[in-house]
Amino acid sequence: MPPSFGLIIIGDEILSGKRADKHLPKVIELLAARGLSLTWAHCVGDDRERITATLRDAFASADVVFSCGGIGATPDDHTRQCAAAALGVELRLHPEARDLIEQRMRDIAAEQGQVFDPERADNVHRYNMGVFPVGARIIHNPYNRIPGFSCDGPGGGVVHFVPGFPVMAWPMIEAVLDQQYRHWQRPGTWQERSVVVMGTMEATLTPLMERIEQTHPVKVFSLPSVDHPEFGRHIELGVKGAPAAVAAAFGDLLSGLKTCGAELGPEMVR
């Protein structure tokens, strides 16, 4: 079985509403395209104790986790320090990260027609973006060279740290998935089929849902809605899993709904 995948989104700006999170739907999309799925997601503000606790739990798990945000070098960026604290290791300038950051600074200086000065205060500060927990591995950043990093936890969990900027984070996540987890990928091996059920309560459908899960290797889901502009109060009832199992389970689900006399609306496949 493939590992469970988790997502940590870090930043006060998400929790305060200054920015809308875009990582959750994108990571779901990236995983689904590879026949994988997201098991859990946490959103954490810029609080060192909470970030450290969240990362400690991730490292103690056996999950593959992507952490987005907080790996810069400004005072409100705490993720690198919290990762080290969660692992109980020191922070150290990663030699490959140092080289990548320096090359980026040289490129910027050349674009501006300046001579690169490694001793200039702002340039010295930029090296802090390559200070990672001891033992970290580099995640290359195709956008501007400033790398992310990956760390292994004592419990088998792996956390891959990427920037909060989608233009950087998403290609980096894709690269990690395709370089390190290709052997788990099964495109086209996951499907959802559902139907709109009107005029029925969830409690009435529960025995049918339980029977479907007991007799088929699928998961049943129920999504009630009370104010849909077209269907009004209704339930989207469906199954998800391997396509062959979904086909059989969905057929039984429809038969059971018709036996109950439920009013059915459109069917959907994802």
Q: What percent of the chain has pLDDT over 90?
A: 77
Same-domain pairing of 228 and 253: yes
Kindly state whether residues 171 and 195 are assigned to the same domain.
Answer: no
Residue-wise pLDDT for 117-133, tens only, equals 888 888 889 999 999 99
Asked if residue 102 and residue 25 are part of one domain, the reply reads yes
pLDDT at site 233: 85
Domain count, the chain: 2
Q: Which residues contact 76 (CB under 8 A, 6 or more apart)?
A: 12, 46, 70
Q: In the prediction, which pLDDT does 151 show?
A: 98
Between CA 220 and CA 210 the distance in angstroms is: 8
Q: What is the pTM of this model?
A: 0.82
Here the CATH number for the domain that contains residue 61 is 3.40.980.10
Please choose, from the candidates 170, 208, 212, 217, the residue with its C-alpha nearest in 3D space to the C-alpha of residue 189.
217
Tell me what the mean pLDDT of segment 12-41 comes to.
94
At 81, the pLDDT band (50, 70, 90 cuts) reads: very high
Mean pLDDT value across residues 178-197: 90
- Mean pLDDT value of segment 136-160: 96
Look up the CATH number of the domain holding residue 221. Answer: 3.30.70.1120
If DSSP codes are grouped into helix, strand and coil, which group holds residue 190?
A: coil
Residues 168 and 199 in one domain: no
Confidence at residue 78, expressed as pLDDT on a 0 to 100 scale: 96
Q: Which domain holds residue 168?
A: 5-184
15 and 118 part of one domain? yes
Q: Where does the pLDDT of residue 264 fall: very low under 50, low under 70, confident under 90, or very high at 90 and above?
A: very high
Which of 160, 184, 208 terminates a domain? The answer is 184
